[in-house]
Amino acid sequence: MGEVDFHLECIDCGAEYQADQVIYSCRRCGGLLSVEYDLSRVEANLDESWRGRALSVWRYRELLPIREDEKIVSLGEGGTSLNRCLRLSEDLGLKDLYVKNEGENPTGSFKDRGMTVGVTKALELEMGRVACASTGNTSASLAAYAARAGLECIVLVPSGKVAYGKLTQAMIHGAKVIQIRGNFDDALGIITKICSSHPIYLLNSLNPFRLEGQKTVALEIRDQLGGGVPDKIVVPVGNAGNISAIWKAFRELRELGLIEDTPQMIGVQAEGAAPIADSLRRGLSKVEFVEEPETIATAIRIGSPVNWKKAVRAVRESGGLVEKVSDEEILKAQELIARLEGIFIEPASAASIAGLKKLVQRRLIDRDELVVCILTGHGLKDPGVVLERFPKPVEVEATEEDVVRAIMPTEREAMKITAS
């Protein structure tokens, strides 16, 4: 089967646009755009087609908005593992906890799912240059996919607030990296204006094609659970594109009759950058932005999430919520999952574990529920936060005796061992 027919649609006024236009917001009302498929015309048994293909973004080809297969730019994205976490479950007081480890993607974050589709779209639209604003991961991913496609890449990042691992990636892949003296929100405002008036393709999550790639994480989770759907999906929120994309996938699966129930979407923000969590808690109908966002989880250090409307809909329609967590809670969660499960994640990803812990304690997540946490990025992206937190490893002379002395338990530790 070929692709399902699709077009762009404004989520506010419903205006429709053909999908071969370079457009980032509704021309009529300025609203966010969404890719919409004519799902009623899907004839094939999608599950059967999918089953014959490897777990990856492109396994779900029929639900991706690309017309020319030969233009696909891929680095082997998706197909990340869904790990059942017995030790972490026990610690948190849950029975059925899984984590989807998106750090396994080619550039170490979930952004690759979006970029394989977004950069392919850039080729289809014959754009020679691509650009984004980024807290780090988007720029690393775009730089890699642009290199693979032979496109010029421009990235704007907030000066001094991007983890070194991510900055290094953007640099080595040959992107033009520009540090601005401002935050992510400033950078996004600037690059959106530039891309609207120059032949440069914007690949932030305002770009609805990119989000289509990101929705595949939900399709994979369903397949990895043998067709099942979690009760709750917990996901860190910054610009709020990912939570919206994941929800869209579940809506489409329901519309296609491939699932009956949908999960509740739980977003987690960092306390110093929690405009959605705070606004929902106050019962506001619009999200009030945070002027000067701050958090150790630099990936989600965002005060004006452009996709807030899509995210609030995802949360409302799914019966979910948005929680916020402190930097200390984030760092503790990062250490907890590293020690109990052997999975090293960056602070923004740990926000999902920290949020989960809080919600279990408040009994907003039940012990018996099937929960999936999305771990969005690899810990090696940002080793600095760990180096700052832990004492330097001991250093001894290069002799057997010195090493033995160093690994033997101290008297206090020995007493503890005997006592237990």
Footprint of ligand F0G (CB under 6 A):
109, 134-138, 205, 236-242, 299-300, 346, 348-349, 376-377
Question: Least distance in Å: CB of 404 to ligand F0G?
Answer: 41
In angstroms, give the least distance from the CB of 407 to ligand F0G: 35
Q: Report DSSP letters for 319-378, one per residue.
A: T-EEEEE-HHHHHHHHHHHHHHH---B-HHHHHHHHHHHHHHHTTSS-TTSEEEEEE-BB
Q: What is the largest CA-CA distance in the chain?
A: 76
- Least distance between ligand F0G and beta carbon 54 (Å): 25
Min dist. Cβ of residue 86 to ligand F0G (A): 25
In the complex, least distance from residue 166 CB atom to ligand F0G, rounded to whole angstroms: 7
Query: Two tokens at 8?
Result: 């762009």
Instruction: Give, in order, the Cα–Cα distances in Å from 418 to each of 256, 407, 408, 411.
Output: 60, 17, 14, 11
Q: Given the complex with ligand F0G, which of 42 and 147 has the nearer CB atom?
A: 147
Q: Residue 363 carries which side chain, given as an amino acid letter?
A: R
Cβ of residue 196: shortest distance to ligand F0G, in angstroms? 19
User: Residue 178: is it exposed, middle or buried by C-beta count within 10 angstroms (0-12/13-18/19+)?
Assistant: middle
CB of 177: closest distance to ligand F0G in angstroms?
A: 13
The span from the CA of 206 to the CA of 189, in Å, is 11
What is the residue-wise DSSP string for 5-26?
A: PEEEEETTT--EE-TTS--SS-
Q: What is the rounded distance in angstroms from the CA atom of residue 41 to the CA atom of residue 39?
A: 5
DSSP single-letter state for residue 394: P
We find the least distance from the C-beta atom of residue 159 to ligand F0G, in angstroms, to be: 14
* Closest to ligand F0G by CB, 214 or 224: 214
Best CA proximity match to 209, nearest among 102, 71, 346: 71
Contacts of 48 (CB under 8 A, 6+ apart): none
Pick 4 or 320: Cβ nearer ligand F0G: 320
Nearest CB to ligand F0G, comparing residues 112 and 346: 346
Cβ proximity to ligand F0G: between 241 and 272 the closer is: 241
Closest CB to ligand F0G among residues 46, 355: 355
In the complex, the smallest distance separating the C-beta of residue 307 from ligand F0G, rounded to whole angstroms, is: 7
Q: What is the Cβ-side half-sphere exposure of residue 324, based on CA atoms within 13 angstroms?
A: 18
For residues 123 and 133, which CB has a smaller minimum distance to ligand F0G in the complex?
A: 133
How far, rounded to the nearest angstrom, does the alpha carbon of residue 34 sit from its chain's CA centroid? 18
CA 354 to mean position of chain CA atoms: 16
Query: Tokens representing 98?
Result: 């899984």
| Residue 65 vs 241, nearer CB to ligand F0G | 241
Looking at beta carbons only, is 97 or 322 nearer to ligand F0G?
322
